[in-house]
Amino acid sequence: MADKKIIAVVGATGAQGGGLVRAIMSDPTGPYTARALTRDVNSAKAKELAALGAQVVAADIDDVESLKRAFAGAYGAYCVTFFWAHFSPEKELAEARIMAQAAKHAGVEHVIWSTLEDTRRWVPLSDNRMPTLMGKYKVPHFDSKWEANAVFTEQGLPVSFLLTSFYWDNLIHFGMGPKKGADGKLGFTLPMGDKKLPGIAAEDIGGCAYGIFKKGREYVGKTVGIAGGHPTGVEMAASLTRALGQEVRYNEVTPEAYRAFGFPGAEDLGNMFQFKRDFEKDFCGARDLALSRALNPSLQSFDQWLARNKSSIPLS
Ligand SMILES: NC(=O)c1ccc[n+]([C@@H]2O[C@H](COP(=O)([O-])OP(=O)(O)OC[C@H]3O[C@@H](n4cnc5c(N)ncnc54)[C@H](OP(=O)(O)O)[C@@H]3O)[C@@H](O)[C@H]2O)c1
């Protein structure tokens, strides 16, 4: 253990970071060990990570001194922000800046920054196909992550930019699972038309990140997009039908209708799906399935993810 390089993992008790800690710790002959960062070292999830053999340390990404301590002596750092905890792109940017400062201070040799596209490259603010949100964004939780790329490069950090995909786990945790319509039939609602939606099991993101770390410097300075599949809404509904043993129809809605659903973040997500729909070729093209599988050989397809998780999907 003593000769292993440490990878400090932000969000270790969450989806992306948790997957990375588990990937590292399930490879006992590998070159790394995980340091799990959490605000509460005594939580049940933190204790689960400690039981795997990970170091568990206290850190808050709003507190640079806590992060400097947590990154000290680490070879690598996995950096992620938590947009849905606060809905603020400015806060994401500030938190990325704190993580970059701490990584620089600690002399971290490889940072993976969990990022997304700047949708304004494809849909400038002047393009009225979708509303501008919060004054200067089209998809706030995407655009802010891309803006934060510069925060890492300006520090001169050796950074890999990881373009993640839609979590299939959103069907469990984000209210995006099939819902019963007035006719009692299950419908799976997306504003994607007949276009493909790159998706991934959230757990597999960490496995892909581990694959990037294992490649040493190969992906430093590079952008890597990952997905476990590129199914259409119709294909996802067919997979759900097979897995659940009851008919699930694809309930195609317009991005306008989706934005008007009114739940917190509905406009951001409506714009996001519209961006993915309208720029399918670029968005899918940036998320190569063969590369994702090469980085993470246990990468799941949507069908495989469903086989393991169907009983956790709330059907209402
Ligand atoms: N849902 C999707 O489809 C999707 C797709 C692509 C990208 N994303 C992006 O993924 C990001 C979230 O990542 P995730 O899903 O892995 O998060 P998550 O599962 O919600 O995990 C959040 C974890 O981060 C920790 N945390 C929260 N605030 C913190 C803070 N101030 N300092 C330190 N730790 C903190 C919490 O741990 P403790 O309580 O233990 O501290 C929590 O367990 C978002 O920015 C989102 O935009 C989501």
Query: 107-159, pLDDT tens digit by residue?
Result: 999 999 999 999 999 999 999 999 999 999 999 999 999 999 999 999 999 99
pLDDT reported for residue 316: 78
% the chain with pLDDT above 90: 99
pLDDT at 48 over 80: yes
SS (H, E, C) the chain: CCCCEEEEECCCCCHHHHHHHHHHHCCCCCCEEEEEEECCCCCHHHHHHHHCCCEEEECCCCCHHHHHHHHCCCCEEEECCCHHHHCCHHHHHHHHHHHHHHHHHHCCCEEEEEECCCHHHCCCCCCCCCCCECCCECCHHHHHHHHHHHHHHHCCCCEEEEECCEECCHHHHCCCCCEECCCCCEEEEECCCCCECCEECHHHHHHHHHHHHHCCCCCCCCEEECCCECCEHHHHHHHHHHHHCCCEEEEECCHHHHHCCCCCCHHHHHHHHHHHHHCHHHHHHCCCHHHHHHHCCCCCCHHHHHHHHHHHCCCC
Residues with CB under 6 Å of ligand 1 are 11, 13-17, 38-40, 43, 59-62, 80-85, 141, 164, 166-167, 170, 174
pLDDT reported for residue 298: 97
Give residue-wise pLDDT tens across range 70-101: 999 999 999 999 999 999 999 999 999 999 99
Give residue-wise pLDDT tens across range 264-299: 999 999 999 999 999 999 999 999 999 999 999 999
Q: How many other C-beta atoms can be found within 10 angstroms of the C-beta atom of residue 88?
A: 16
Q: Two tokens at 278?
A: 């309208």
CA of 113 to the centre of ligand 1 (A): 13
CA of 83 to the centre of ligand 1 (A): 7
- Phi and psi (nearest 5°) for 108? -60, 135
CA of 112 to the centre of ligand 1 (A): 15
Write down the mean pLDDT value for the chain.
97
Which ligand 1 atom lies nearest to the CA of residue 142?
47
Enumerate the β-bridge partners of residue 232: 196
CA of 289 to the centre of ligand 1 (A): 24
What span, in angstroms and rounded, lies between the C-alpha atoms of 251 and 33?
Answer: 44
Nearest-CA residue for atom 26 of ligand 1: 11
What span, in angstroms and rounded, lies between the C-alpha atoms of 169 and 128?
Answer: 31
Give residue-wise pLDDT tens across range 26-46: 999 999 999 999 999 999 999
Q: Two tokens at 159?
A: 């950074």
- Phi and psi (nearest 5°) for 262? 90, -5
Enumerate the β-bridge partners of residue 115: 163
What span, in angstroms and rounded, lies between the C-alpha atoms of 18 and 28?
Answer: 17
Cβ atoms 115, 146 nearer than 8 A:
yes
pLDDT at 1 over 70: no
Give residue-wise pLDDT tens across range 238-267: 999 999 999 999 999 999 999 999 999 999
Q: Two tokens at 240?
A: 């759900």
pLDDT reported for residue 88: 98
pLDDT reported for residue 139: 98
Cβ atoms 307, 243 nearer than 8 A:
yes
Nearest-CA residue for atom 40 of ligand 1: 38
pLDDT reported for residue 209: 99
What span, in angstroms and rounded, lies between the C-alpha atoms of 15 and 244?
Answer: 24
Cβ atoms 300, 228 nearer than 8 A:
yes
CA distances from 44 to 40, 49, 78 (A): 9, 9, 21
For residue 268, with 0-12 CB atoms within 10 Å meaning exposed, 13-18 middle and 19 or more buried, which class applies? buried
For the four alpha carbons of 288, 290, 294 and 298, in that order, the dihedral sign comes to positive
Give residue-wise pLDDT tens across range 187-210: 999 999 999 999 999 999 999 999
Nearest-CA residue for atom 11 of ligand 1: 82
Directed axis angle between helix 140-154 and helix 266-278, to 10°?
80
